[in-house]
Amino acid sequence: MPSRRLYSKDVFDLGQFFNLSHDMLCIASMDGYFQLVNRAFEDTLGYNTDELLAKPFLEFVHPDDIESTLREMENLAGGAPTLAFENRYRCADGNYKRLRWIAYPKAEDSLIYAVARDMSERDRLIDRLRTISPIDGLTGLATRSVFDRQLTKEWNREQRFHQPLTVALVDADQFGDYNAEHGHTAGDEAIRAIASVLRKHFHNAGDLVARIDGDKFGLLLPGESKEAVSVAAENARAEIERLDIPHPLEKSAPRVTVSIGISTAIPADGMEAAGLLRQARTAVQSAKDDGRNRVAVHSG
């Protein structure tokens, strides 16, 4: 057997590990600047090291993620490590990538030692699975691909029979903040609870309830008037609020709530199903602009 050769630690170049890592390694100061980044930062985000060190790292964070990032910084300043925090960073080409962070503070030096991993490939895989699977694995509802196909099918059917078609979109309020504060496990439980309420209130023959994005749901309600759907939607909204799932960061109410937008049309020549969907999105945004936790009906 060959004899073991012992090396002095002086010959080890630990910087090689730092720069050869595919994960994004960095040391940051508590005042909000990167002090040292490895090559994976440059490769992932497209900036050179000087550009990354020159600006507060919050300038690279997606505007919608700044508040949750600041809260995470406060936790680190208080000595609590970050074990699975996600936010989006702007790349040199203007696009954003979702990063997952593990970070440990060193309070005596006011430094943070952190590892980030690019989750873009995971997100693309999840999106791909959602497009090809008919059933959402978390909620058991239909997926976005089913919703899109059924929207076209019902639009054509109601056009033939000159009957109304209603689309309702349901959006969990401030849910990015909820996930950041409570974690994705709690977020998944909240999404399942919302899905259960929607399934309970929209169960007529022909109704379709789908999860069309992470915290968004789409409802297709053929042959139903906007008045009937509005009543059912308000009942669902109120029951979701009564679930009393704590959400202290929600300004309108300290619990998980939803905003719902409704649009109804009798399909006719010259109209498109996509237009009905756009109107429902406009109604959701109106509900959010008016304070969230409410139902809005498109008035067109």
Q: Is residue 1 part of a domain?
A: no
Q: What is the CATH number of the domain that holds 35?
A: 3.30.450.20
Residues 113 and 142 in one domain: no
Going through 126-236 in order, the beta strands assigned E by DSSP cover: 165-172, 208-213, 216-222
Specify the pLDDT at position 238: 96
Residues 131 and 21 in one domain: no
Bridge partners, residue 157, by sequence:
none
Helices (H) and strands (E) in the chain, counts: 10, 10
- Mean pLDDT to the nearest integer, 91-102: 93
* Rounded CA separation 178/172 (Å): 10
Q: Is residue 75 part of a domain?
A: yes
Q: Is residue 3 part of a domain?
A: no
Residues 276 and 213 in one domain: yes
Contact 265/165 with Cβ under 8 angstroms? Answer: yes
Residue 252 has pLDDT above 70, yes or no: no
3-state percent breakdown (helix, strand, coil) of the chain, nearest 5: 45, 25, 30
Q: Which of 79, 100, 118 is the last residue of a domain?
A: 118
Contact 29/103 with Cβ under 8 angstroms? Answer: no
Residues 31 and 164 in one domain: no
Catalogue the long-range contacts made by 97-102 (C-beta closer than 8 Å, 24 or more residues apart).
97/44, 97/45, 98/123, 99/24, 101/72
- For residue 174, give every residue at least 6 positions away whose Cβ sits within 8 Å of its Cβ, in sequence order, or none: 247, 249, 250, 251, 292
Residues 195 and 87 in one domain: no
- The CA angle 211-85-87, to the nearest 5 degrees, is 70
Residues 110 and 130 in one domain: no
Residue 202 has pLDDT above 70, yes or no: yes
Encode pLDDT of 117-167 as tens digits.
Answer: 998 887 777 666 666 668 888 999 999 989 999 999 999 999 988 899 999
- The CA angle 248-112-103, to the nearest 5 degrees, is 60
Separation of CA 137 from chain center: 16
Contact 93/99 with Cβ under 8 angstroms? Answer: no
Residues 91 and 235 in one domain: no
Domain count, the chain: 2
Residue 251 has pLDDT above 70, yes or no: no
Q: Is residue 177 part of a domain?
A: yes
Q: Is residue 96 part of a domain?
A: yes
Residues 143 and 99 in one domain: no
What range defines the domain where residue 207 resides?
A: 125-297
Q: What is the CATH number of the domain that holds 209?
A: 3.30.70.270
Q: Is residue 266 part of a domain?
A: yes
Q: Which of 101, 118, 135 is the last residue of a domain?
A: 118
Q: Which of 85, 118, 151 is the last residue of a domain?
A: 118
